[in-house]
Amino acid sequence: MNVEPIIRVDGLVRRFGEFTAVDHVSLRVHAGEIFAFLGANGSGKSTTIRMLIGLLRPTEGSIVVDGIDVMAQTRRVRDHIGYMGQRVSLYQGLSLRENVEFYGGLQNLAGQELDHRWDRLRERFALGDVEREAASDLPAGVRQRAGLALAILHQPRVLFLDEPTAGVDLVGRALFWELIQEQAAQGRTVFVTTHFLEEADYCDRVSFIDAGKIVADATPAELRERTGTDYVVRVTGPPTGLSAVAAALEAALPPRAAKVTVEGAQVRLRMGSLSPERIVALRTAAEARGAHLLGIDPPDMGDVFRVLAREAGETAS
Amino acid sequence: MALAGVAAPAIELRALRKHYGSRAALRGIDLAAAGPQILGVVGPDGAGKTTLLRALAGLLEVEAERSIVLGFDLREDTAPLRAKLGYVPQSFGLYRELSIRENLLVTGRLHGLPDRAIAARGEMLLGRTGLRPFIDRPAGALSGGMKQKLAIASALLAEPRLLVLDEPTAGVDIVARDEIWAILNERRAEVLIVVSTSYLNEVEMCDRLAYLEGGRVVAAGSPAELRAATPFELYRVWGAAPRAIAREARELAFVSGVAATGQYARIEVPSERSPGEAAVRAALERLPGVVLAEAAAIDIEAMMRALAATASEATPVGARA
C-alpha cells in the first residue's frame, strides 16, 4: 500500500532500569485496518500500547498517529484516538446514561449532538435496555459493549482496544467482533489485543511481539503459510477414479503447491496457502472428473501461534 | 482410590440452590460425577459457574435435596471436605510475599503434610510445571501464567481426589495455557477435575461438560454428545471478501449468525429454519464473490452458541456428567 499509514512507529524502545521491555519496535498500520497486536504475558505488549496512546514516555523512537507526533502533542492526539482497556472504566455509582453524559462532557459533546450520536450507538450496540441501570450492575459483555460505545462517542479515527473481550462470554464476544468489523468498514482503524486466538482471524493483519521484539507482522493467511500449518482440502469422487482425480487436482495447482494423498474415499490436499483463485481451480478440476469438493479445513490459529512462540524462543536462546 | 461407577459418586447434587439476599445465583443444580475425569463447567456470564464451583469447594452455605461431595454433605460442616480437595479461585490465591518454595511449604503444612513429603511432592510438581528455575522468586513477582501454575501445583500438593479450578487460564497466553492443560491431562485418570473456562479449545478437551444458564444445568454430556445434539447447521463460505459475504448472508431468512475471517464467512443456520443443506449451499453460492459454500461439521463454537440460543427455553436434556 502506498498510502501514508495512520499509525507509524519507528525504533520504539522502553527500558525500565536494566530491563528492556520494548526493543526497537517498528509498526505500520493503515487506515481502516483491524490490526491485531499479540504476544505472551510479559512480552512488552501492554508497555507498547501505553506508549502508543501517550500514557508512557518511550526511551527512544517515534510514534505518529493520524499525523500527530504522540510525544510532542500528547494532549492533541487524544481527540483522534479512542481507548478501551480490559476493565472498562465506567463510574460505578452512575447509570450508563449518566456515564454517557459525563464522557460526552469530557469531549465537549452535549445537548442534541450528544443525544443524536448516543441514540445511534445505543441502538446498534444493544444498550437501550440497560441505559438506566447502574454501571456496576452490568454483566461483563454489556459493560464491554458500553465501553466500546463510549470510546467512539467522539468519533476518533483510531481505536485502541486492549483485550476488550477478556472475561466476556462467547455470544458477547461474537457480537463485539461484528461491531469492530463494522467500525473498520466505516473507515475507523482498530488496534486490538486478545488472548482468544480465533479472534486473530477476524483481523486484517496480525503482529506478534516476543521479548520486546516484533517477530511476525502479516495477514492471518500469510502467517499460516509461514508457520507451515496446512489447509486440508477434501474431495470425494468415483471410487475407481480417485487417483485420476488426485492427479488432475495436483495438475490444477502450481508445482509442489500441495501434498496430495488418497485416504479412503477421499482425496486430500494439504497446502500452506489457499486463495479464492485456487479454490476455483480445484473445484473446476474436480467437477470436470465427476468429483466434488467437499470442504476445506483451515488450520487452527492456536497452532499458528504455538509455532511462532516456539520459533521466537529458539531465536532467543 | 474410588473406581468410576463402583464407589459412590464423588459429586451428587440434586436441586442445589444458593441465594444472595433476594437474588438466586443457583436455582436448582442437578449434577453427578463419578470418578476421575475432567468436568467442564461452561455457560454465559452470570450463569452461576463461579458460585457452583465455590459450593463444590465447600465455601458456601447452600440448600439442596442432596449435596454430597467426596462423601461429605455441603449442608453440614465442610471443613473436613475442604481438607480433601484442591481449589484454585479466579482471583489470586497465593501468598504474594512468599517465594514459590515457601508457598508450597505453607500450603503443605496447612494440609498437615510432613516437610519431607512436601519436599518430595513439591519437587515433582515443580518439574512438571517448569517452575523450578524460579523457586526463590516471590509469588507476587511471577507472570500471570506462572502464578496460575503455582496455584495449581499448591492445590495438587496434598494429592486431592477433587480439584476445582475457576477459569485457571483466563488472561494467560497460549504457551502457558498448553502447559496448564498438560498438567490437568496428566491427572485426569486419577483426579476428578472440575474446571470452568471460556476458551473453546479447552471446552473441547473436557471429558464431560455441564452447561449452566440462569443457575441451572440445562445441558450435560461429552463434547461429542453435545455437538451431535446441536440443532444447528454450520457453513463456511469462501471468497475474496468474506466480510461483505457475511453482511449479505445475514439478510437470508434462515441465517441466525455470521462471522467473517479473512478468508471465509462462518454462517450458522438453526435446523428448524433450514430449507435443507443443498438449498442453503445453493443460496449461499448465489451471493456475490462466493467461490465455495461448504457444509461444515458442527464445531465447539457452534455448539456453544446453539446452547446459548436455546438454553433459556430449553428443558434439561440430561444432568448426569
CA trace torsion A219, A221, A226, A227 (10° rounding): 110
Residue A207, all three cell numbers = 503482529
Which ipTM was obtained for this model?
0.86
B171–A166 CB contact, under 8 Å: yes
Q: Is B257 exposed, middle or buried (0-12, 13-18, 19+ CB in 10 A)?
A: buried
More confident residue, B1 or A86: A86
More confident residue, A86 or A175: A175
Render the burial of B40-67: b for 16+ CB within 10 Å, e for the rest: bbbbbbbbbbbbbbbbbbbbbebebeeb
Q: Report the pLDDT averaged over residues B266-285.
A: 96
pLDDT at B310: 79
Query: Which residue in chain A has the smallest CA separation from B145?
Result: A41
Q: Report the pLDDT averaged over residues A251-280.
A: 94
pLDDT at B4: 44
Q: Report the pLDDT averaged over residues B217-225.
A: 96
Q: Report the pLDDT averaged over residues A7-26.
A: 96
- Evaluate if residue B172 carries a pLDDT over 60: yes
> H or E stretch including A245?
helix A242-251
Q: Which of B220, B197, B198, B193 is nearest to B209 (CA)?
A: B220
A230-298 in CATH: which number?
3.30.70.3400
pTM: 0.88
Q: Is B23 exposed, middle or buried (0-12, 13-18, 19+ CB in 10 A)?
A: exposed
pLDDT at B46: 86
**DSSP letter string, B234-263:** EEEEEES-HHHHHHHHHTSTT--EEEE-SS
A172–B44 CB contact, under 8 Å: yes
Of B172, B292, B295, the CB nearest to A279: B292
Q: What is the pLDDT of residues B49-75, one digit of tens each?
A: 999 999 999 999 999 999 999 999 999
pLDDT at A86: 79
Q: Which residues have a Cβ under 8 Å from the Cβ of A244 and sit 6 or more positions away?
A: A289
Provide the mean pLDDT of chain B.
91
Sign of dihedral through CA atoms B65, B67, B71, B72?
negative
- Evaluate if residue B147 carries a pLDDT over 50: yes
pLDDT at B5: 43
Tell me the chain B residues in contact with residue A196 when contact means C-beta distances shorter than 8 Å.
Answer: 199
Contact assessment for residue A134 and residue A92, using Cβ atoms and an 8 Å cutoff? yes
- Evaluate if residue B314 carries a pLDDT over 80: no
Q: Which of B309, B54, B308 is nearest to B198 (CA)?
A: B308
Sign of dihedral through CA atoms B70, B71, B74, B77?
negative
Distance from CA of A106 to the nearest CA of B (A): 31
Tell me the chain B residues in contact with residue A172 when contact means C-beta distances shorter than 8 Å.
Answer: 44-45
- Evaluate if residue B1 carries a pLDDT over 70: no
pLDDT at B165: 97
Q: Which residues have a Cβ under 8 Å from the Cβ of A265 and sit 6 or more positions away?
A: A236, A239, A242
Q: Does domain A7-224 have CATH number 3.40.50.300?
A: yes
- d(CA B51, CA A196) in angstroms, rounded, equals 24
B261–A220 CB contact, under 8 Å: yes
Cα B16 to chain center, whole Å? 19
CB A235: neighbour CB atoms within 10 A? 26
Task: Break chain A into its structural domains and give their ranges.
Answer: 7-224, 230-298
- d(CA A198, CA B304) in angstroms, rounded, equals 15
- d(CA A4, CA B268) in angstroms, rounded, equals 38
pLDDT band at residue B143 under the 50/70/90 scheme: confident
Q: What is the pLDDT of residues A37-88, one digit of tens each?
A: 999 888 899 899 999 999 999 999 999 999 999 999 988 998 899 999 877 7
Q: Which of A141, A220, A151 is nearest to A189 (CA)?
A: A151
The CA-atom distances, in angstroms, between A96 and each of A103, A119, A135, B79 are: 10, 13, 5, 42
Q: What is the pLDDT of residues A87-146, one digit of tens each?
A: 777 888 899 999 999 989 888 888 999 999 999 999 989 898 899 988 888 888 888 899
Distance from CA of B31 to the nearest CA of A (A): 22
pLDDT at A316: 67
Give the three-class secondary structure for B220: strand
- Evaluate if residue B6 carries a pLDDT over 50: no
Percent of chain B with pLDDT over 90: 80
Of B170, B172, B176, the CB nearest to A167: B170
Distance from CA of A82 to the nearest CA of B (A): 22
The CA-atom distances, in angstroms, between B231 and each of A171, B234, B260 are: 17, 10, 22
- d(CA B285, CA B150) in angstroms, rounded, equals 51
pLDDT band at residue A309 under the 50/70/90 scheme: confident
Give the three-class secondary structure for A220: helix
Show the DSSP H helices in A152-241 as ranges.
170-185, 220-227
Give the three-class secondary structure for B99: strand
Of A169, A202, A296, the CB nearest to B198: A169
More confident residue, A239 or B249: B249
Lowest model confidence (mean pLDDT) among A241-250, B169-178, B245-254: B169-178
pLDDT at B236: 97
CB A72: neighbour CB atoms within 10 A? 11
Of A139, A166, A221, the CB nearest to B46: A139
Q: What is the pLDDT of residues B185-210, one digit of tens each?
A: 999 999 999 999 999 999 999 999 99
- d(CA A35, CA B90) in angstroms, rounded, equals 30
Q: Report the pLDDT averaged over residues A258-262.
A: 94
Distance from CA of B303 to the nearest CA of A (A): 11
Side chain identity, residue B299? D
Distance from CA of B90 to the nearest CA of A (A): 11
Residue B194 exposure: Cα atoms within 13 Å on the Cβ side:
29
Tell me the chain B residues in contact with residue A130 when contact means C-beta distances shorter than 8 Å.
Answer: none
pLDDT band at residue B8 under the 50/70/90 scheme: low
CB pairs < 8 Å spanning A and B: 113
Q: Report the pLDDT averaged over residues A20-33.
A: 96
Q: Hey, of B213, B261, B298, which one would you mutate to test binding to chain A, going by the most A CBs within 10 A of its CB?
A: B261
Q: Report the pLDDT averaged over residues A17-24.
A: 95
